[in-house]
Amino acid sequence: MKMLKIPEPTVVRLSLYSRFLNQASSKGIDIISSDEIGSAVGIPSAQVRKDLSYFGEFGIRGVGYRVRELCSQVDKLLCVNQVWPVVIIGAGHLGLAMSGYRGLQDRGFDVIALFDANPAKQGELPNGLPVLPMEKLAETVREKDIRIGIITVPSASAQPVAETLIEAGITAIINFAPTVLNVPSEVECRNIDLTVNLEVLSFNLGMRG
């Protein structure tokens, strides 16, 4: 085991393993093999073992992995054994959808508040979450020590919003706007771009016939 410089694809798969292991764990499964994990998430078993081997030896040769143990180890690696407060910028359809998404809470991401520049959107949501004006952002981020921001504003406002977030102290961004954001290298930004995904499908459909 060598540690340091983990391939990003490995981290992505770790998240898939974690989800599956949590399910298996709550089903009461005790022992599981790399082969079972792999086929559950659609990945070869050698890859599963290699991924885990970056971080240590979690299994028992000839036997497999103890589910509860592996599960908590992987969760610790991903830092999802803690609560991460997040803010959502943009209280449109998408922002509201995200704020009501149970999967976030379940995985330890806690939406503290939404923010929207439009006063008409501000107030309190049915689920109790506040929608605040952008002016309150820096204060909230500081007080709750928030690192993660989710951008769901229209494309044209995404870059200025990102800058406001970074100014406020955010260092990790999920961007749903169909734009490549320009951020300093110490800020990590991941784009979730529906259009790009559709166009990859479109390309591949075109390749066939």
Partner DNA sequence: GACTGTGAAGCCATTCACAGCT
Partner DNA sequence: AGCTGTGAATGGCTTCACAGTC
For residues 39-78, which are near DNA according to CB under 7 A? Answer: 43-47, 49-50, 52-53, 57-65
Instruction: Please tell me whether residue 90 binds DNA under the rule CB under 7 A.
Output: no
Main-chain dihedrals φ then ψ at residue 57, nearest 5 degrees:
-115, 105
Nearest to 167 by CA among 181, 191, 184, 189: 184
The site string for a copy of itself over 26-65 (x = CB under 8 A, - otherwise) reads: --------------xxx-----------------------
In sequence order, the 6+-apart residues with CB closer than 8 A to the CB of 192 are: 174, 175, 176
Alpha carbon 63 to its chain centroid, in Å, reads 32
In whole angstroms, give the CA distance from residue 128 to residue 113. Answer: 10
We find the least distance from the C-beta atom of residue 44 to DNA, in angstroms, to be 4
Q: Would you say 135 or 188 has its CB closer to a copy of itself?
A: 188
Distance between CA 141 and CA 114 in Å, rounded?
12
Measured CA distances, 53 to 6, 11, 46, 50, 122 (Å): 11, 12, 10, 5, 48
Report if residue 133 touches DNA, rule: CB under 7 A.
no
Shorter beta-carbon distance to DNA: residue 83 or 180: 180
For residue 12, the minimal CB distance to a copy of itself (Å) is 6
> Which residue in 4, 8, 93, 208 binds DNA (CB under 7 A)?
8
- State which of residues 112, 134, 138, 172 lies at the interface with a copy of itself (CB under 8 A): 172
Return the ∠ at Cα 204 (arms to 14 and 191), rounded to 5°.
45
Task: Pick one of a copy of itself, DNA, none as the site partner of residue 92 (Cβ within 5 to 8 A by kind).
Answer: a copy of itself
Question: Judged by CB under 8 A, does residue 12 bind a copy of itself?
Answer: yes
Which one, of 145, 153, 197, lies nearest residue 172 by Cα? 145
Per CB under 7 A, residues contacting DNA are 1-2, 5, 7-10, 32-35, 43-47, 49-50, 52-53, 57-65
